[in-house]
A = this chain, B = another copy of it.
Amino acid sequence: MKRNTWQREAVREALDDTEGFISAQALHSALHASGSPIGLATVYRALGDLAAKGDADSLQSPEGEALYRACSTTGHHHHLICRNCGLTVEIAADEVETWAKRVAAEHGFTGAAHVVDVFGLCANCTKLGTSETGRNP
């Protein structure tokens, strides 16, 4: 039987309060920062449960971390994420929307969902121009 714990509530709320995707580790840090003594393993479990129940989306970042997002079926949009400071900008993506649908249809695919997110260095972090990793163009 599923039990309700404040921990699970906390994770769900923290995820709801988050714009865009966040890693389990980051979410755990955020919870700690706001005074919650929740354990890391519990955050992982809660996020896993949410994803399994379909209440959360998950994707893999280019670095291989698992990122989670509250599943807001209302209003679909994408994200531009700074890989240095984590700044996230919401972006409209009508073009991509249409493109994804068309491409899927062309290959006979149905029920197409797409993961479209752009990672980069935001203006600030670019200016600071520290030790860059120089990844894919």
A residues with a Cβ closer than 8 A to B are 51-52, 54, 59-62, 64-66, 76, 80, 82, 89, 91, 93, 95-96, 99-100, 103-104, 107-123, 126, 130, 132, 134-137
Q: How far is the CB of A83 from chain B (nearest CB, A)?
A: 8
A120 and B96 alpha carbons, distance in the complex (Å): 15
A99 proximity list for chain B (CB < 8 A): 93, 95-96
Q: Are B115 and A59 in contact (CB under 8 A)?
A: yes
Q: Are B115 and A111 in contact (CB under 8 A)?
A: no
A95 and B99 alpha carbons, distance in the complex (Å): 8
A76 proximity list for chain B (CB < 8 A): 136
Q: How far is the CB of A45 from chain B (nearest CB, A)?
A: 15
A118 proximity list for chain B (CB < 8 A): 100, 103-104, 109, 112-115
Q: For A59, give the chain B residue with the smallest CB separation.
A: B115
Q: Are B115 and A135 in contact (CB under 8 A)?
A: no
A116 and B115 alpha carbons, distance in the complex (Å): 6
A79 and B95 alpha carbons, distance in the complex (Å): 17
